[in-house]
Amino acid sequence: MDLNYSADEMAFRDEVRTWLQTNLPTDLQQKVQDNEALSKGDYLRWHKILAKKGWVAPMWPVEWGGTGWDITRKYIFDEECGYASAPQIISFSIGMCGPVLQKFGTQEQKQRFLPRMYHGEDFWAQGYSEPGAGSDLASLKTRAERRGDNYIVNGQKTWTTLGHYGDWIFCLVRTNPEAKKQEGISFLLIDMKTPGITVRPLITLDEGHEVNEVFFDDVVVPAENLVFEENKGWTVAKYLLGHERLGSGRVGVSKTKLARLKVYAAEQTNGRGGRLLDDVRFRDRISRTEVDLMAVEITNLRLLDSLRNGRNETVDVSMLKIEATKVMQSLAELTMLATGPLAAPFRQVGTPAGVPIDPYVARLAPLYANLRKVTIYGGSSEVQRNIIAKARLGL
């Protein structure tokens, strides 16, 4: 096992770092650093900058605009973007639906959708979870009935991330209610401008509008928008979820937040005249989180080594998902503790008495609340532990 970068990979890292320093818009970088919500325009602006460079879809086949990078270069690129506080590329098109179409789509579907995804001409959303069908996704009830050349879709999706920005949505729908629950599901591409679609915001505890409910009332979807075969959507869904979990490490982002935590802990007093960073108990908690982050990084590198040697380590992906999301939550909690009352819930940026407040600190409480979700999406931690138990322990 080789966990070190080669000289060529180190040179590539330097190239990416230099390019980001020159081309990442300062206003977008500042928004990410301050945990400020990004608009649809923000996401698409950065998407188009990367597309112009040819780096927006690194793991796509070269014929569709991919870079030809191996998995290690993709990992290096993602981590450098994290260190630079670049916006995330919303993965619903590039990271999820795009790879699905490349594997399961018809040539007509590829020609129609992939170039638009690559150039950021459409914003995509994911229609998976429903009330009563989250971790147990196969229990979904949204129905698609075939009538001639169309499907008629009725039902509801929930927790639809950024669905209010969506131009298109890919959905799992039930096309055979009589079959076993995994065997009667299909994968449809739906234009969100179609009559009968209603998007209703779900305002979360952090007072943010990130997720939504999406209702389908007699929505007409052309049958040509079916991906793969009718009633074979579960095969597509499993393939897509593998792509979702692979990007869950986010070591660069977490290292940046760890460094900021240490700065705040060094600035705050511990109530006894010394620095909070010198408090043994608090420093121990930071150290434990830092060790966990190191373990995540090593797990990431071990997974990279497996993938570049042709091994498919699904258990490592599950372990990575569990530990990386725990680290994200721990960093948010510790930073809240380090900043104390300055991180009061929902405090607006600005101040009593005109004293400015660090925008990052002002948004810590909403960030803390928002990060409760990361141990749930992409397969909850409980589901991941079951996967590990079956694969490694034979339970």
* Active site members: 244
Handedness of CA 80, 123, 373, 391 (dihedral sign): negative
In which residue are the tokens 């569990």 written?
322
Question: CA 157 to CA 92: how far, in whole Å?
Answer: 15
User: Which tokens hold the place of 301?
Assistant: 């590198």
What one-character-per-residue DSSP string does 274-337 give?
SBGGG-HHHHHHHHHHHHHHHHHHHHHHHHHHHHHTT---HHHHHHHHHHHHHHHHHHHHHHHH
Grouping H, G, I as helix, E, B as strand and the rest as coil, residue 373 is helix
User: How would you classify the pairing of strands 226-227 and 124-127?
Assistant: unpaired
Nearest partner of 170 among 217, 242, 117, judged by Cα: 117
Beta carbons of 210 and 228 less than 8 angstroms apart: no
Question: Do β-strands 124-127 and 168-174 pair in parallel, antiparallel, or remain unpaired?
Answer: parallel
**CA-wise closest residue to 329 among 357, 299, 296, 359:** 296
